[in-house]
Amino acid sequence: MKIHLLSQECINQIAAGEVVERPSSIVKELVENALDAKATAISIEIKGGGISFLRVSDNGEGIFSEDLERAFMPHATSKIQNPKDLEEILSFGFRGEALASIASVAKVECISKRQEDFLAHRILVEGGSFSPVEEVGGMDGTSILVRDLFYNVPARKKFLLSESTEASRVEEMVEKLALANPGISFHFVKDGKSRFQTLGGGKLSDVVFGIYGKSFAKDSLEIKESYYPSSLTGLATLHIEGLLGKPSLTRSNRQYEIFFVNGRFVRDSLLSRALEDAYKPFLMQHKFPFAIVFLHLSPNLVDVNVHPQKLEVRFQNREKIYQALFDCVSKTLSKADLIDHSPLSLFQKEKEEKSTTFLSPSSQLWEKKEEKKENKNDIPEEAVRSDQNDKQSAEQISAIKEQEKEKAEAVNQRYPIGEASEKAPFRIEVPELNQQKAETREEKLIYEEFDLTKGIRLEEEEKASEKEENTIPKEENTIPKEEQLFTESENLPSAEQESLFSTSFFSEEGEREFRLIGQVFQTYWLIEFQKELFIMDQHAAHEKVNFEKMRKNYLEKPGISQGILPKTMVFNAKEEELYEKTKDYFTHLGYRIRKEEEKRYALEGIPADFPSLDAEMLFHEILDALAEEGNLSEAESVYNKIASMSCKASVKGNQLLSFQEAEALVQKLFTLENPYACPHGRPTIVAFKKQDLEKMFKRIV
């Protein structure tokens, strides 16, 4: 077969396949160009999912008129000049492929103006051909309009998803870019409607509030840690900062694990593993945390030139990066009060997660639900773009209540039961009604009554605190403006302010002043402290105490070895190398292993702490875990699983305890570094605020 050179048009379209996958890819490239141009405000507008119309405008430095045509040529860039520059890349773009790739598969218009120029300049690019550069009116900065994506590559166009799904992916990408740059103002417009806007004030929590809602911003912990070569051997300076969600913000997938390396959004299994391992003592299985983590390190220690889209990176000293992130997250969580103070909303959260009203509108599922709502109920899309706890408008709530009332009246007609109060939610027990649906309806009514009506104090002596508890404003369908944010912060106590007026239960004051009330259902203990009612699960609490005791014994003294008849183990080359590096760890655990010859070892002793377990299988399990990431924290995690299995001495549910035994158990919880969850991630204790109980009993309505 004869070899021939490809045409430039063909080369560009092949290259575009790597960079331009879908509209969200274009948005990423154009926004990153705007950031490199030192823009402070960026607007993204799409129509038809970004396929027919996509425009990114910024107020950056602009492009020289003589460089406009050159900017759309392959491998043309202002970011680097020689190979050495690749080792110190701090800009987002550097390949010089984005604009050329976009212009080869779409119709592009670029208008750019530098501050020192009197007029802007405009160029059109279509299918690799350029129009003459002309002068036009325009604002400072650059605006790039992309139309008819893949108009000349039908094979690529048919692989695009629906317009609503592509729009969701664009919005998700803009959210990530906004989170990465809280000091930049982002405005996203979809089909002529503003979806969200960030202020560019530099506070990450404000961006989280705007994108994900009040509950995410309120229940997040700030992390900030720096590691230097002296404190972390083998690793240059590393700074870690961001927000960590409390365990109550868990999700069923990794969608909310968001990582940025030197300001660049990345997906990396090493970072996810470190984060999840640190959260493991606090979460149940198959649950994942909400976290936004920024890592800042020297560019020569991370390779971003792995893939044209630059979503993947390679770290030097992977083990050190893992350990630093693991330690930082663990340290932050261990110092925080992680008791769930709003357990009444647990069922509501589960419902919202399933119906996606608690998810970011960037998800595909959100769009599907949104379309269904529009078709079925004629609800405008703005009505569902608000904080997760206040999604429904007042009209929707009224309609739902009216439907429930009509259903109840229909049942009353068939089964007369006399008059009932219209003010209180109720349930009628009749054979035809499905029990589960009745309970669901009752919960729904209860939460509408409690969460969506403004509080009015019924007791005269409680009026003094009325303002503080009943000034929560309803959020609108878009991001609150700057003055709205300040109004909210003035009326509502922040997390820092609340901490001044309430003391954590697990504190010296809590240890002195808690009052044990009694046991219910032979499983849970009621405890009063200040203005909260705490409920402790006796099994989870005792299991946690036993687990920490065993773990402490392991960490502080070598494990005792129990001799066995020698068993021969054969290692492959990788296993042998890894074992030789970590054999001290296994010796500390209680293993006695003797090398017979190359790749052959004799197992002569096993940990006496685990006589009922298959010690050889356990050895290989730990070795495999070490091989997976090459660090001891993973091995410790495996040991934690074993220790949790060995906590069989814990008191069970449905078992009576005396007051003295229960009080001793509570006192032991105060001695733990992490008393909030058992080894399996279940909470040991939850709390009801006095205000929640008053709402339940209609003292606040």
* Residue spans per domain, the chain: 8-196, 219-338, 345-469, 508-549+650-696, 560-608+610-645
In the structure, what pLDDT confidence band is assigned to residue 81 with cuts at 50, 70 and 90?
low
Mean pLDDT for the stretch of residues 24-47: 93
Predicted confidence (pLDDT) per residue in 184-238, tens digit: 999 999 999 999 899 898 899 999 988 888 888 888 889 988 887 655 445 568 8
In the structure, what pLDDT confidence band is assigned to residue 511 with cuts at 50, 70 and 90?
confident
Predicted confidence (pLDDT) per residue in 515-546, tens digit: 888 888 888 888 888 888 888 888 888 888 87
How is domain 219-338 classified at the CATH fold level?
Answer: Ribosomal Protein S5; domain 2 (3.30.230)
What was the pLDDT predicted at 642?
55
Mean pLDDT for the stretch of residues 454-475: 38
Q: Taken in order 344, 345, 350, 354, is the CA torsion positive or negative? A: positive
Percentage helix, strand, coil for the chain under 3-state DSSP, each rounded to 5? 45, 20, 35
Output phi, psi for 536, to 5 deg.
-105, 130
Task: Tell me whether residue 574 is exposed, middle or buried, using C-beta atoms within 10 angstroms of its C-beta: 0 to 12, 13 to 18, 19 or more.
Answer: exposed
Mean pLDDT for the stretch of residues 332-343: 72
DSSP-based three-state secondary structure for 608: coil
Q: State the CATH class of domain 8-196.
A: alpha beta
Contact between 535 and 525 (Cβ < 8 Å): yes
Residue spans of alpha helices (H) in 82-194:
98-105, 154-157, 163-180
Q: Rounded to whole angstroms, how far apart are CA atoms 248 and 338?
A: 8
What was the pLDDT predicted at 690?
84
Q: Which CATH code fits 560-608+610-645?
A: 3.30.1370.100
Would you state the CATH architecture of domain 508-549+650-696?
2-Layer Sandwich (3.30)
Sheet holding 685-689, edge to edge: 515-520, 524-529, 532-537, 685-689
Distances (CA, A) of 308 to 27, 59, 123: 14, 26, 26
Q: Which two tokens stand for residue 230?
A: 């002296």
In the structure, what pLDDT confidence band is assigned to residue 56 with cuts at 50, 70 and 90?
very high
| Helix and strand element counts for the chain (H, E) | 24, 23
The CA radius of gyration of the chain, in Å to the nearest whole number, is 30
What was the pLDDT predicted at 637?
52
Predicted confidence (pLDDT) per residue in 160-179, tens digit: 999 999 999 999 999 999 99
- If one compares 121 and 481, the residue with the highest pLDDT of the two is 121
Q: Which two tokens stand for residue 291?
A: 């976290």
- Residue type at 606? I
Q: Rounded to whole angstroms, how far apart are CA atoms 683 and 540?
A: 7
The position carrying tokens 């107020």 is 59
Q: Which two tokens stand for residue 182?
A: 């809280």
**Does residue 393 register a pLDDT over 50?**
no
Predicted confidence (pLDDT) per residue in 591-649, tens digit: 899 998 888 899 998 877 655 556 677 787 777 766 665 554 545 555 555 555 545 55
What was the pLDDT predicted at 3?
72
Mean pLDDT for the stretch of residues 67-94: 62
Predicted confidence (pLDDT) per residue in 399-409, tens digit: 544 554 554 44
Predicted confidence (pLDDT) per residue in 325-335, tens digit: 999 998 888 88
Q: Which two tokens stand for residue 477?
A: 């369908």
Q: Rounded to whole angstroms, how far apart are CA atoms 113 and 117?
A: 6
Predicted confidence (pLDDT) per residue in 292-302, tens digit: 999 998 877 88
Would 508-549+650-696 and 560-608+610-645 be classified into the same CATH topology? no
> Chain-centre distance of CA 668, in angstroms?
32
Task: Tell me whether residue 59 is exposed, middle or buried, using C-beta atoms within 10 angstroms of its C-beta: 0 to 12, 13 to 18, 19 or more.
Answer: buried
In the structure, what pLDDT confidence band is assigned to residue 309 with cuts at 50, 70 and 90?
low
Q: Which two tokens stand for residue 472?
A: 């929560």
DSSP-based three-state secondary structure for 249: helix
